[in-house]
Each structure stands twice: as structure tokens, then as C-alpha cells.
Structure 1
Amino acid sequence: MTLFDLAIKNIRRNVKSYGLYIGSMIFSIIIYFTFVTLKYSEDITALAAVSKQVSSIMSASAFVLIIFVAVFILYSNSFFMKKRKLEVALYSLLGVRKRSIGFMLFFENIVIGVIALIIGVGLGFLLSQLLLMVLLKLMGLEVMSSLAFSPSAVVNTVIVFMILFLFTSLQGYRVIYRFKLIDLFHAEKKGEEFPKARLISALLGVASLAGAYWLALQDLMTSEVWRLLSVAMPLVIIGLTVLGTYLIFNSVLVYILSKLKNQKNWAWKGLNLWTTSQLLHRIRGNARTLTVIATLSATTITAGGAVFGLYYNADKEIETYTPITFMWEGEPQKITQDIVVYEEEIKSKTVRIAEGGMEIDYQVMDYSTFKQLATRQGWEDLPTINQEEAFILDTYYDERWSTKVDEVKLNKQTLNVIAYEDRSVVNTFTMGGKLLVVTDALFEQIDSPQVTYQAVQVEDYKKQQALSDDLAASTEQFSSATQQYKDSIEASGSMLFVGSFLGLVFLVATGSIIFFKMMTEAEEDKGKYQVLYKIGVSQKEMKRTIRHQVGMIFTAPLLLGLMHGAIALVAFSNLLMMNLLIPVVIWMLAYTMIYFIYYFLTIRSFQKTIFSMLGER
């Protein structure tokens, strides 16, 4: 029997044992092949040809996905090899040369990789059709064609993963020469050093996170700290967040568990003392893993929440900058009256007003026209003015950095500016972002060329693309809410798809990492649970302690990830002056629900591993 035959026989006899590792590889191949297939799709290629945003988003995301998949497979392989060390030790004890064992492991890994590639590519192709439909739907487009099988995507996927499989195979080969025989026999019995509670480290962890949160919530435009640190500020925030997260797990959590362990009334109740000791015993090994998971969760929540927020608020952004469906300079155009809600002819004059040491062009509108447009658009509590007053509509006004004009000199007359509105009744892209409203009489007296604009509001503006294209071809200074919405939804829709796709990948990966970790610990804990069983501890109590142990490992990084993400999204919403509360809450709830599915699956598998050894269900 050759080494290759032995490798095939091992795989057949141990499919159940290898299932976790094979499953992680198939998952990695499915997500990568699915994404690459979408990238090479004719529909996406056509979109990328006309949209640099779509092209750059897909390319950058593919690169991120390669790095992530590589890390995930290497992480999975490390757990797989740890379970194989005892088997390797037995081969060595029977006199098999290390070189032969290494080649056998090499062949096994390559065969498993090829099998995973075949299954992953097949399932990935089926999934990619569904995801293409989702992507086009998010971008407000109709499904243009069925997805064709992409040879380029297959070649790309095979090259990437064969390189990864070759590397992991060599990594397994290296294990043979790195450890002594006695180390291989006791690989699964090595415990972590029992940690000590250090109050200083715990306080440092809390202080690091508090400092990171405080810096993140500082206003980018007005903060002295931002001016001092400049481009280094994000690195400082990330560094403090990662340090604080690690110390929370390695010190703060240890400190809290140690205090609980010393509370006799709590510790001597049921298996609380044993549960706490179990968590403390492995806390340092778990601290690194939990830090990675919390960081991945925070990244996923922040990126996904921000993109979903932009997509969710697309309509509101259109209403702010393009409140009228169609607007252009010049004469009226022929439009089917069945869809017209209202039409308005707007007279405007341009004046130059001193603002912040410079003279800025303002469009001037008479109060009657403003009132009519504002009333049609549902404005309430309209300001009123007299001959000596005016007010300004400035869609780009921000009190943090914008210069506020208190008075305006017009026709040798000084007008008091009684109000500022950071919105407008006209389209910013046609008439500009700065509008001065004066009385009708004063408007007529302004000695400046008068320009006429046409404003047309239609029903269901999102579905008037053909009309928008016709008007754009026949008018000047044209702006269209329909076109703005189309551009916005295509850009934010593609980002939402990619963000959700990568977010789901990261979510599954974080859940898988914890799953691998807990199942490894379940194998190590078999003997301990057997002792508990022999001394009469009930199955109910053992299940309870399993829920508590697994629950802390799952809940701790999730809560920190949610906190990190919430702070980052608050800072993001403050920067854009956009209300992201509803989309962020929806995104966090979705993330938490999927995350806890992994929690219940892990508990079930952990209990199955333990109680199968005890002969109970």
C-alpha cells in the first residue's frame, strides 16, 4: 500500500472527524467562488464599465476576501493539525519515518482540498445566481440575464486555493519535525497557565477603551486633538481599542471572575466554582481569540451599519438636495400632464455677498415664489420678512465650520438675516446651494440679469428615467431627482451588497472560530466531565455549566463588538450629520440573531461530544 492509498483510506475512515475542517474549506471556497463569479458576470462587468465605483468596490472586496479566506483556512488548519498530533505520534511510535508521515499528511490535505474545491465550486455557482438577483435588486435594476458559468472564476478560485492548500500541507509537514514524540502525545492535554487577577492591568484596559471612545467621538472639524494628531488619529484610536479589548479579556474579565470565585455564597452554589475555574484556566488562550472576534465583529457592524445607513437614507438625501423631480434653465418642455403634480416658473437673480472675507455668489428669490414652493413641499412654520429683512437657504450650511452672515448689503440697503435653513426649495445642482429670499418689491429693484428656471414635480419620480433622459438631452442646467436616485441607489446598493456579503462572511468566520475553539475544549474536557458524572453530578447541572461557559465565550466579544461598532457609527453619523439610528439598530439586531444561531449550534455540539462519551443523550 502506497502513502497515497493510505491517505485516501484515512480520509474515508475519518470523514466524520475531518468534517469540521472540510466544512470550513468548502465554506471558504463557496464564498470566494461566488464573489469572483459575480465579479466576472456580464451584468456586473457592464455596470463596472459605466461606474468606476462598482468596479473599484468589487476589486477591493475581492482582495480583502483573499486575505480573509487565507487567514480563516490557516486558522482552521491549526485546529485540525492539533487533533492529528496524537495520530502522528502513534505512526512515529510504530517506526514510520517522519518523511513518510509528512508525505501522507501532504497527500491527505491535497485530496481534501480537491474534494472541497469540487463541492465548493458547484455550490458556489448555484448561490451566485441568487446573489446576482439580490445585488441587481438592491441597485434598483432588473435582472438582465441568467448567470453563465465563468471559466475565469473557476481558474481564479483554483489557483488561489491550490496555493493555500499547498501552504497548509507544508505547514502540516513541518509539524512532524517541529515536535518531539512526547509533545505530540500530550498536545491536547496542555493547559493554559492559570492567570492572576491584576488590578492595574484591568484599570489600564478600561482606561484604554475609554480613551479610544473619547477620541472617536471628538468632532473632526473642531477638535484640538484631531488637529494635533492629524492623520495619525485613526491609528491611535484603533491601537487603543485593540489594546483595551485585549486587556478587557485578559485582565478585566480575569479580575471579575476571580472576585466571583472568592464570593463563597455564589461560588459554592452548584457548579459555579468549577465553571469559573474552567474559564479562568483558559482565559489567556481565549483572550487572543476573543480579541480577534470582537475586532472582527466591530469591523463588520461598523462597515455594514454605515453602508446600510447610506442606503436607508438615500431618499432623504435626494429630498435635501433635489426636492423637485426635474428642474432646468430655460423654456418649458412638453411633459405628459397625467403624471405632473405641479409646475412652477422660478425667476432668479445673482448677487455677490460678503462671506468670511470673500464674496460669494447667491441666487435671489422673491418671497412669493419661495412660499408657494415651500407650501407645495410641506414646509411648516414659514418665516416671514419685511422690507428690511431676508433669510438664507443653504443646503451645505454647518454651524461647525460655515460662516454665518448676519446682514446683507443689497441695492445700497442693509438687510438683517433673520433665519438660516440648511435645506432648500429648489434643486442645488441647478440653482446652487446658497439662496437668498427677499420681499417681492425688493427683488424687482435688484439691478441684475434675471434668469428663468422651470420646476416640475411628477408622481412616482423613481420610475421616470426615460423622461429624465429626454429632458437632460434637450435642456441646460438640468437636474433630476430620478437620475440622482438612480446614481445613489446603484452606488449604495453595490456597497450594501458587498458590505453585507463580507459582513456575513466575517460573521460566519467569527462563529466558526469560537466553534472550533469550544469543540477543541470539549475534547479536552471529556475526562473532567466523566469525573463529575461519577461523583453524581446530574446531567441538568452539567448542561447548565456548559451553557454558562459557552455563553461567556460568545457573549463577551459580541457585547464589546457592539459597543465598538456603536461608538464608531455615532462618530460616522455626526460627521455626515445623518440620523443612522434605525438602520444601525436593524443591522445590529440581524447580526446578533445570526451570531446566536452559532451559540446554540455550539452548545448542542459541545453537549453531544460530552454526553456521547458518558453514554447519555
Structure 2
Amino acid sequence: MSLLDLTIRNVKRNFRLYTIYLFSMITGVIIQFTFSSLMYNQDIMDALQNRDIFQTGVAIASVVVFMFIIFFILYANSFFMRQRKKEFGMYLLYGLNERQITMMMFYETIFISAISLVTGILLGGLLSKLFGMLLMNLMQYDQVISLSFPAQAMVSTAGLFLLLAIIISVQSYIMVNRVHLTELFHAKQKSEKPVKTSASMAIVSLLILGMAFALISSGKGSIFWLDYATWSMIAVTIGIIGGTFLFFRQFAGWLLQSVSRRKKYHEGNTVLWTSSLRFQIRGNTLNLTFISLFSAAIMILLCFMTINYKVQFDAVGRNLPNDIAFQSMDKATNTQIDDLITRSRHKIIFHLTAEVIEASRVTDMHVAVDNPEYYTPGVLLVSQQTYNELISHRDDKQNVELQGNEAVTLSQGSDFPKLYEPGEQPSFTVKTDTERTFKLIEKKDYAYLGWATDPAESMILKPAVLAISDEAYQELQAHASQKSFEIYGLQDAKNAEVLSQQVHAIVKMTPGAYYSSFADVYSKQIESSSLMLFASGFLALIAIFALASVIYFKQLREATDEKLQYAILRKIGVDNREMKSVIRKQLLFVFLPPLVLGVLHSWFIIKYYILDSVQDFPGLTGVVWGIMGVYFLIYVLFYISSTNIYYKIVNENH
């Protein structure tokens, strides 16, 4: 009998195991082909404003996706190999060597890969249309996506899975060569020893986790993060990872040990579901720690990208509040630009000429704005009347009422906007041809002019602007350098890329002239945030499959190993109802703690380091809880599925 014949017989004999492995491979092909085909879909390319950025982003994300797929499939192959150790022992006993067994495994891998590629590409092509439509919807583009099977995507997917087949063969060869013959025959007979636990170490695990949560909840404005950021980060990392590990290693073991010492321990089925868990603590610690941290990482990634996407539509408007704004030129140039805008398909909603005073700062800019490195060196002073006139057109309800030396600093993007109480108002001194000190009554998270932009380079720097009283402005006006800006409000400004390029070309003929356009940034920001959300959704999908494989294969292996114990329970009179109850309780102890810790880890980080930074954007907390709710539902489905599979395996020969 040839190795090929033996391979075919193996597939027939171990059909259930091969079905699980084949499902893993097909899933990997579907995800890889679906994602990479988006990069070559002509309908998507035609809709995009920034094709090069999109293709670069998809290429980078494709590498990350493939790395996840490698982990997912190698874990499945590792389980597959462990389940067949006894079979390999028989082959070695009958005279086959490690090289021949590895070659047989290579034939199997090529056979499974071929089936996976054909099936996965067909299904992936169908899904790519669906996901392409979803991507266009995220970008708010009205583009029809046709069904396509790009040759480049098929070739790249086939090449990557050929590479994966070689990696799998190397893994199989290493696993076969590292195990002795006697070990192969007794691979399923090894038993775990219960971990030594203590109440003190159980308490330590809770204290370490509590320390991490306390540091996180102190907020990034606390002394821990302002003055000791590096040490705080180290402490939180150690607290979350080390605390989670000790929680499962010590606290869970101590809890089970405490249950076993209760007087009513032998009543009901408590002894049946706890005794097995005590012996599995050692083997399950790393798995449960991984599941908790992995779950937290999935939720943080997806919540962060969803929040980033949600705020982009409003954030671009906050960063660039003017549809088109530029420094006033000579009369002929201003007229040329006005005629160009008037002739465009973008109707002018309003047009203002805003006059400001140029000044240099004397006081440190940190007093007036956050992140002063993002601002131009000088300071622009705008009168209350001029400021409020523009605000009335925006309908933003950000009007100011000032008198004397009062001023409001416009620090758009500020993490800590503040309305100062009387007596706590900081002083800020500027200089024209004379120095003038103002009392800052408020630091607003708001922009008057917005970032200077470039159609190619996007955002550059933004002007520092102080709104001052009309009285102070008139006093400074007589002996200060002045500048004016042309500010336009346009209809359908988000699609004014071509108009912006034309206006920008005229303005930039004057070196150093200020220019800002909403359209220069909108398409880049929305397309990039949509792509990041889409890619993170794909990564979360793969991560969930990987997590499912870890849980599923672990329970499948443990159920297979415990068939004898459950057969004995049945012989001593334990009925099916009681057995299902034992399995549900045993698996609940495995599923619930990682879910709870994963949700706690992710919620603390999201709440205090993401949501607290975007408090002005409504509805985001509901979005976060929605994502966590979906993840909880998926996890419940994992639990129900695992209990059913576990029960079927232990009752296989009944």
C-alpha cells in the first residue's frame, strides 16, 4: 500500500476530525480572499478619493489578517496532531519512519488545502460583494458593487496558503519527531496534578487586579499618569496580565478547594463537577488567561475603532469648521477666487471677511492651549463682534460675552476645556507694539479658523486664536498689524475636492498664506476611519474564530479524555439529566470567569481612556455596551455549543 493510499484511508477513517480541520482551513481561505479581493475590486477603486492610501492600508491589514489565520490554523493542526498520536505510534511500530509519516501528512495537507482553496474562494467571492457594499456604506458612498473574483486576489490567496501548507508540514514533522514511541501510545493517559493553592495567594491575585483597576480609573489627568506615566503603565500591565494569571491559578483553585471542604460537598452533584476541575486548573490556567486577555483585546479594538469612526464625521467639522477659508489677497485675486467658487456647483451659503490683529505671545502657550506644537507661533486676536458674527452662521451656540481685558482662548482638540472661576483666571500676555495682558475666562474646545490644510498633505498647523472684547480690540487696533480672512460656507462641501484644489493653487502662489478646506480632510479621514473599522471588524471576526477554536478544541480534547469517567458515572446510576447538569456547571466555571474578567479589563480601559476623552459626542457609551452585548451573546452561544458537543462525545458509545 502506497503512502497516498494510506492517506486516503486515513481521511475516510477519521472523517469527523478531518471535517473540523477542513472547516478551519475553509474559514481561513474565505477571510483571506474576501479581504484581499477588496483591494482589487474596480467598483470600490472607482468610488474612492484616495486610492493609494486605501491600497496601502488594505495591504498592511492583509498581512495582519494572514498572521491571525496562521495562528488559527496552526492551533487547529496542533489539536489534530495530538488526537492522532496513537495512530502515529502504530505507524512507527509497523516500520514507517518519521519522514514517511511527515510525507503522508504533507499529502493530507495539500489535499485539504486544495479543497479549501476552491470552496473558500467561491464562498469568499460571494461574501466580497456583501462586504464591499458594507464598506461603501461605511464611507457613505452610493456605489454599486458587482460580484467579482479578481485574479490577483486568487493568486495571492493560493500563494499564501501554499506557504501555510509548508509551515503546517514543518510543524507536523517537529511534533512527530519530538515524541517517543511509548509516549505516543500513552498520550491520552497522562493526568494532571491539582495545583497547590493558598488563601494568601488568592487574596494577592485580587489585590493585583484591584491595583490595576485603581490606576486605570484614576484617569490620565491624575498624578500617577502625569508624573509617573511609564511606571504606571508597567504596573497596569503587570496587574492585568499577572493578576489574571494568578486569579485562575490560585483564586480559582482555592475557591474549588474551599467548596470541597464544605459539609454539604457530597450532596447533589457538586463533587462530580468540581473534582474534575481541580485537576484541570494547571492545564487550563494559560488557556483561561489567554481567553480573558484576548477577549479584552478584541473588545477594546472594536470599541476604539467604532468610536473613532463615529466621531470622525463630527470631528472633521470641529477641526475644520470652515468649508473654505484663506488669507485675504489683493482685490483682483480675491475676486478671481470668488468667481471660481461662484461658478462651481457648490452654492455659496455665506461669505464673510474676518479682520484680526496679529500679535506675538509673551506668556507660555501651554497656558492658553493644549499641545502648542500643533499651533502657529503667533497669536491672532479676534473681536467679540467679528467672532459672534461667524458663530451665528454656524449656529453652534458658542457665542461669547466679554468686557475689558477678558478673553476666551480657542483650544480646539483640548482634553481639558475649562470655564475658569473668578480668582482662578490665568493671565495671558501678548505683544503688538505694546504688551497687553488678558484674563482668560474660558478655554474652549472650539476653532475659529481651523487647521491649515493642503489637498495632498492634509492638516498642517492651526492658528492660535483669542477672542477678546470689542473695547480691547479697538484699543489695540490703532497700533497693531492687522490681517483679514475670507471665509466661505458651501453646499455639499464634503465633495468639493476639485474646487479646493483649484482655490489652493491660487492661494499658494503667495508663500506662507493661510488656507483651510473641509474637503481636503473629509474624504481622507472618512475613508481611513471606515477602512480601519472594517479591518478591525475583520480582525475581530478572525479573533473570534481563533477564540472559538481554542475553546472548542480544548473541550473536545477534555471530553475525549474523560469518556471513561462518564461511562463509570453512568454505570453507578447517574442519569442523562444529571450528567447534563454536571457538564453545564463544569463548563460554566470555565466560560464565565474569563468573560467577566475580559469585560472588566476592556470596560475600565475604554471608559477612562477613550469615552472620557469624547464626552461631547453623545451615544458612544451605548455603542460600547452594544458591542460588549454582542460579544456576550456570541460567548453564550460558544458555551451552549460546547456543552452539547461535550455531552455527545462522552455519550458517543452509549
TM-score above 0.5: yes
Q: Which runs of 5+ in 2 are unaligned?
A: 329-333, 367-375, 419-423, 454-460, 509-513
Call closer, same or farther: CA 1:120–1:145 in 2, change over 3 Å.
Answer: closer
Decide whether the 8 Å contact of 1:110 with 1:166 is kept in 2.
Answer: no
User: Does 1:488 find its partner at 2:525?
Assistant: yes
Which residue number corresponds to residue 379 of structure 2? 362
Query: What amino acid does structure 1 have at the position aligned with 2:379?
Result: Y
- 2:452 counterpart SS class: helix
Q: What is the aligned partner in structure 1 of residue 590 from structure 2? A: 553
Relative to 1, partners in 2 of residues 1:406 and 1:379: Cα closer, same or farther, differing over 3 Å? farther
Q: What number of residue pairs does the alignment pair up? A: 612
For residues 122 and 496 of structure 1, the distance between their equivalents in structure 2, rounded to whole angstroms, comes to 25
Task: Say which is worse superposed, 300-309 or 430-439, in terms of deviation.
Answer: 430-439
Alignment CA distance shift 1:538-1:468 (3 Å): farther
Gaps of 5+ in 1: none
Secondary structure of the 1:122 match is: helix
Output one character per residue of 1:337-359: Cα deviation in whole Å (capped at 9) or x when no partner. 99555443322221223221899
Secondary structure of 1:264's counterpart equals: coil
Match of 2:637 in 1: 597
- Matches of 1:82 and 1:613 in 2, distance apart? 21
Moved more, 374-383 or 310-319: 374-383
SS in 2 for 1:457: strand
Change in CA separation of 1:236 and 1:415 when aligned onto 2, cut-off 3 Å: closer
1:489-528 superposed matches below 5 A: 489-528=526-565
What are the Cα deviations for residues 317-349 of structure 1, in whole angstroms up to 9, with x where unaligned?
123222333333334455489955544332222
- Offset of 1:6 from its aligned partner? 1.8
- Superposition deviation, residue 55 in structure 1: 4.5
Q: Does the aligned pair in 2 maintain the 1:429–1:479 contact within 8 Å?
A: yes
Q: 1:78 to 1:43 in 2, by over 3 A?
A: same
User: RMSD of the alignment, in Å?
Assistant: 3.6
Question: Following the alignment from structure 2 to structure 1, what is the Cα–Cα distance between the partners of residues 106 and 377?
Answer: 71
SS in structure 1 at match of 2:378? strand
Kindly state the Cα deviation for residue 28 of structure 1 after the two structures are TM-superposed: 1.7
Shift of 1:308: 1.1
8 Å contact from structure 2 (residues 450, 516) kept in 1? yes
- Deviation of 1:424 (Å): 3.0
Q: Is the 8 A contact 1:366 1:438 kept in 2?
A: yes
Q: Percent identity?
A: 27
Work out which of the residue numbers 443, 449, 466 in structure 1 matches 2:473. Answer: 443
Is it true that 1:250 corresponds to 2:249 in the alignment?
A: yes
Q: Which moved more, 1:144-153 or 1:437-446?
A: 144-153
- Partner SS, residue 355 of structure 1: coil
Deviates more, 1:167-176 or 1:533-542: 167-176
Q: Distance in 2 between matches of 1:305 and 1:55?
A: 24
2:313·2:526 contact (CA, 8 Å) conserved in 1?
no
Cα distance in 2 for partners of 1:357, 1:463 equals 35
| 8 Å contact kept, 1:377–1:425 | no
Alignment partner, residue 588 of structure 1: 628
Name the structure 2 match of 1:279.
277
In structure 1, C-alpha distance between the alignment counterparts of 2:554 and 2:24, rounded to whole Å: 14
User: Aligned partners of 1:381, 1:56: CA distance in 2, in Å?
Assistant: 40
Q: What letter corresponds to residue 483 of structure 2 in structure 1?
A: V
Amino acid in structure 2 at the alignment position of 1:246: F
Contact 1:507 1:595 in 2 (8 A): no
1:89 and 1:184 in contact (8 A); partners too = yes
Distance 1:66 1:82, change over 3 A: same
| Whole-Å separation in 2 of the counterparts to 1:398 and 1:98 | 62
**Structure 2 partner of 1:314:** 312
- Conservation of the 8 A alpha-carbon contact between 2:611 and 2:621: no
Alignment TM-score, normalising by the size of structure 1? 0.87
Structure 2 partner of 1:406: 427
**1:365 counterpart letter in structure 2:** V
Cα distance, 1:82 vs. partner? Answer: 1.8
Change (3 A) 1:8 1:564: same
Q: Say whether 1:563 aligns with 2:600.
A: yes
Query: Contact 1:297/1:561 (CA < 8 Å) preserved in 2?
Result: yes
1:543 to 572, 580, 587: 580
User: Partner amino acid for 2:354?
Assistant: I
Greater Cα shift, 503-512 or 332-341? 332-341
CA drift of 1:493 comes to 0.8
C-alpha separation between the residues in 1 aligned to 2:365 and 2:238? 41
| Structure-2 separation of matches of 1:443 and 1:80 | 78
Identify if the C-alpha distance between structure 1 residues 292 and 6 changes in structure 2 by more than 3 Å, giving closer, same or farther. same
Displacement of 1:255: 1.5
Contact 1:408 1:417 in 2 (8 A): no
Paired residue type of 2:538: F
Contact residue 507 and residue 591 of structure 1 kept, 8 A:
no
Q: Of the candidates 331, 353, 374, which is equivalent to residue 345 of structure 1?
A: 353
**CA contact under 8 A between 1:257 and 1:280: conserved in structure 2?**
yes
Residue equivalent to 1:457 = 489
Could you tell me whether the CA contact under 8 Å between 1:220 and 1:575 is conserved in 2? no
Q: Which whole-Å CA distance do the structure 1 matches of 2:430 and 2:164 have between them?
A: 71
Q: 1:521 to 1:592 in 2, by over 3 A?
A: same
Deviates more, 1:384-393 or 1:405-414: 405-414
* Alpha-carbon displacement from aligned partner over 1:103-123 (angstroms, at most 9, x marks no partner): 434433332233223322332
Q: Whole-Å Cα distance in 2 between the matches of residues 548 and 225 of structure 1? A: 42
TM-score scaled by structure 2?
Answer: 0.82
Return closer, same or farther for 1:204/1:48 CA change in 2, 3 Å cut-off.
farther
Q: Deviations over 1:397-425 (max 9, x none)?
A: 45599x98524467666543333322134
Q: How far did residue 315 of structure 1 move?
A: 2.5
